Every structure is written in structure tokens, then in C-alpha cells.
Structure 1
Amino acid sequence: MEVDLVKEREKLEKLREKLIELESVAVAYSGGVDSNFLLKVARDTLGDNVIAVTIHAMMHSNREIEEAKQYTKNFGVKHIILKIEDFDLKEFKENGVERCYYCKKYIFTKIKEVAKEHNIKYIVDGTNVDDLGDYRPGLKALNELEVISPLKESGLKKNEIRLLSRDMKLETFNKPSFACLASRIPYGVEITDEKLRIIEKSEEYLSDLGFSQFRVRMHGDIARIEVNQEELGKFFENNNFSKVDTKLKKFGFKYVTLDMSGYQMGSMNLNM
């Protein structure tokens, strides 16, 4: 049955009007649901006055970066990837509760430099209305750097972005939500490249087994796996309990556990 998208299309038109006002934009691009939708609308609205800028540093999944490359190629958008080999930001590695603020400040300063080099007037990102409901210190950095969030300003929520993405036949319409790999490590615990690669490999393995929405949280040498409640039963299929236990221990964990509460976005913020 076709979904009535009258309200969503009104917001989409509002989004297009905002982009037209901006004239040229650099989209902070991760390849996720929100930034992919924003990039597609920006490309359709502003043509060649749009570029996509992706940061590739230690906290980013290599698989996500490769997907981002493919999406921008399909859109015919100029895609600039800033590879940061040694992300030596003290406040990020120390992993305090303001980690995201310092990280966003650093990253978006780099994106602004790229935009200036390409004579692009504004930086836009994929923050939507639902993002305002979680603890997100990085939003403060965006405000300070005058980054514009047109999805939020157009009143678009996550489910509406997914519906419109499906209507536009974007393959990311049902893509699971993803986040910086550093969000898997409790605040106050040092972030290292080694830890992030263990998490990355562990989550890629769960994806390869067919799980869709999940996180592998790192608590010292313990892996705490969160998956959607409806996917918990998959662990009883194809000997997956044993497979996951063996594989994650091979990656570097000593103990592998399954969180009975299931996946919760921002669960590391609950015990701050």
C-alpha cells in the first residue's frame, strides 16, 4: 500500500527552498541515511554547486567509507575524502563527556577549509529533529562554526527522512543507524586505534551474519553486544552463539556477552 507523504513532501519542498537560498553547499557526508538523503536533494536542487566532504580517521569504519564512495559516484557528486592518518586530538583520546564537542570542532574546521578552497559558501550537515533528543555535545561545535542543519530546520524527523528516501528510491532508506566507533567505549576510558579496530571487526562480523541494528560496546576485555529485540533470536540460529563468541575472542575480547535489553541508541550516555 502506498504511503501518503503529503506532510513529508511539504517538508521536502521547504528543504529545497532552504538549499536554494544557500546557493552552494559542502555536505558533511558519512553515507548514512541522513547525509545521503541531504546530498541527493542538494545535488538535485543545486547541481554542480554541491560537494561532499568525508573525513576518514581512526573512529570511522572502512566499510562505511567505501559505501560513501559508491553513493557519491552514483549521484555524480564531487567527493573529497580527507584521510587523517594520525588523529592526535588529546581531548578525543582522553574520551571525556565533551569528546564529541572537540572532535566535531576539529573535523568541521577541516571541512570549512575544504569548502573555502572550492569556493563553497556554506557547510551543511545531516542533523535532524530527532537528534535533539539525545546528549550531543557536538551540536554546540556546529553552532560555533555556523554549520547549517537544513534537515532540522525543515522539521524533518528520522522516520520521515526514511520514507522520503524510499520514495526517491535511495538504497539507504532502510540502512541501520550508525555512529562514530568511539561511541562504543565508555567515557573516561582512553580511545586507541587498536580498540577501535577490534570494535570495527566485531561489528562487521555481526553484519556479515545478517544482523542489522547492533552495537558492540567495549568494557575492558568484555564485549557487550546490543541488537534489536526482534533480532535476539538469530543467536539461536546456525550456531551463531558459538560463532560470535569464538570470533570476537579471536579479535581480542576475553569475554563476550549479549545485552538482554537489546539495542539502545546512545546507551553509553545513560550512566553519565
Structure 2
Amino acid sequence: MDEKLEVLKRKLKEMGSVLIAYSGGVDSTFLLKVAKEALGEGVLAVIARSPIHPEWEYREAKRVADSLRVRFVELQTDELSRPEFVRNLEDRCYWCKRGLFEGLKEIAEREGIQWVVDGSNLDDLDEFRPGMKARDELGVRSPLCEARLSKGEIRRLSQRLGLFTWNKPSFSCLATRIPYGNPITLEALRRVGGAEEILLSMGFREIRVRDHGEIARIEIREEEMQRLMNRKEEIIRRLKEIGYHHVTLDLEGRS
């Protein structure tokens, strides 16, 4: 693991300067920390702001970037203007990432930064991730993959480096809460984002709210189900206030 960390540092130094597609999650925060140590002022963190990303995630990401003393800018993205994204087929992530990386490359060119990089890790190569096609087409690099770092290793190294994100639950964009084939709308994104923020504010950590129109389907770890049921009246009331007619619990839970 230590050898992989040294490989990562060496690769970053060879790049000279990097623009990091930054989300505030485990992987991109770790990459940001190591890049700052390796390149100093040659690092720019850019986070996308869009209805597919909740506001609390942006605020938290900005706070972390500020604490690491990394220059931080935001990029307004407009996924809902792309019909290919809105139709919500299995290539949805490709169109999202395509637009994001195009915007990041424009910023990098304007800032004179040599490489756009993202936080993809070794485990991501084994998953269905259409966005990686856009990454490869546009020449975006993934230093964590190049250093052969897995998610578990990144978490352990993050803990060693004192990053509070080391045990942060994984969090994907809100569009993933809408089943394939159901069009992605601003209303649905706001509804599901609001529902998840309510549950997070109640202390539930690893949650997903799947949006089925009038129905909210809550996914949560099995060990937290009883605690959720103890507060079911409040949860039902608050989720109905933001537009759901029915609130359900997925008994299979989150793995």
C-alpha cells in the first residue's frame, strides 16, 4: 500500500499540474490531499454544481477544499438540457460525464493546467460505468487507477492522513435514484434530494431514496431499519410534505 502511494505521488509530479474533478467524496478528497502535497500550487479543484448534486454535498466539499488550502472553483453544468441524459437510458452516465469533462477541459486550458484527472479507483474498473468511455475519449486521467489503488486502500490511507472522509459513505448523483426509462426531471431530482437530506439530518448515514413517481422507496442498512421504524410517523409526514404520496421501506436493505 505504501509503495502504491509513492507511485501515485510520482505520477502526479510527472503530470506537472492537475485539475481535479472534485466531489468531496472519499476518492477525490484523498487525491486532492496527495496532489496538494506533491504539486503545491499546481492543483485546482473543480466541483460541478447542478440539480443532480445536492447542496449539502457542495458545502461539505468546499469546506474540505478550504481546509486543505487548495484553490477551488465551481462549474455550473446543465445535464437536463441534454435529451440523451433526460431520457435516462443505460448510457445516461456517459452523457453526464461527457458534458462534465468537456467543461473541465475548457477550464484547464484557460488556466494553463496540463491534465484533467478524476478520482476513479481500481475497483471502479470492475463495475458498469459508462462514464469511463467519456473519460477515455477526452483524455482524462485517473491517477488512483494508474497507481492500482483500491477503495479499501484509499480509505485506510485517508485515515492515516487524517482525512475525516476516510469512512464517508459512497454517494452517487441523484439521477441514479430514478429507474432507467423514467425521464429525469427537475421535480424528481428536488424531491429525492429533499427526501435524502431529511433522512441524513435525522442521523441515518448510508441511505438511498429511490424515486418511483408518487412512491419513495427507502434503502437503508438492515441494522438501522428498527431505528427508522421507530421514527416512521415523522418520516412519512416529512416525505409527504415534499411531494410523495406513499413512503416504503425496501426490506432487502443496503449491502
Structure 1 length normalisation: TM-score? Answer: 0.91
Instruction: State whether structure 2 residue 228 is matched by structure 1 residue 259.
Output: no
Deviations 1:3-60 (A, max 9, x none): xxxxx22211111111011111000001111100000100011000010011101211
Give the alignment partner of residue 115 of structure 1, picking from 83, 87, 108.
108
Counterpart CA distance in 2 for 1:55 and 1:180 is 11
- Counterpart AA for 2:171: F
SS of the residue corresponding to residue 257 of structure 1 reads strand
Runs of at least 5 residues in structure 1 that lack an aligned partner in the other structure: 1-7, 265-272
Partner Cα separation in structure 1 for residue 151 and residue 59 of structure 2:
23
Give the share of equivalent positions with the same residue, in percent: 47
d(CA) in 1 for partners of 2:79, 2:91: 20
Count, aligned residues: 255
C-alpha distance in 2, partners of 1:132/1:231? 30
SS at match of 2:190: helix
Q: Distance in 1 between matches of 2:147 and 2:78?
A: 36
Other-structure match for 2:240: 249
The equivalent position to 2:174 in structure 1, one of 177, 181, 204, is 181
Q: Match for residue 210 of structure 1?
A: 203
User: How many angstroms apart in 2 are the aligned matches of 1:60 and 1:260?
Assistant: 27
> Following TM superposition, where does structure 1 have runs of at least 4 consecutive aligned residues deviating by more than 3 angstroms?
84-87
Query: Partner letter of residue 8 of structure 2?
Result: L
Mapped contact 1:22–1:122 kept (Cα < 8 A):
yes
Structure 2, gaps ≥5 residues long: none
Partner of residue 50, structure 1: 43
Q: Does 1:91 align with 2:84?
A: yes
**Residue-by-residue CA offset, 1:218-257 (whole Å, 9 max, x unaligned):** 11211111012222221243xx111111111111111111
Q: What letter matches 1:11 in structure 2?
A: K
- 8 Å CA contact retained: 1:57, 1:87: no
The 5-angstrom pairing of residues 189-228 of structure 1 reads 189-228=182-221
- The Cα offsets for residues 178-220 of structure 1, whole Å up to 9 and x where unpaired, read as 0010000011111111110111110011111111111000112
- Computed over aligned residues only, the root mean square deviation of the Cα atoms, in angstroms, reads 1.2
Q: Which moved more, 1:86-95 or 1:240-249?
A: 86-95
Query: Contact 2:192–2:211 at 8 Å: present in 1 too?
Result: yes
2:95 alignment counterpart: 102
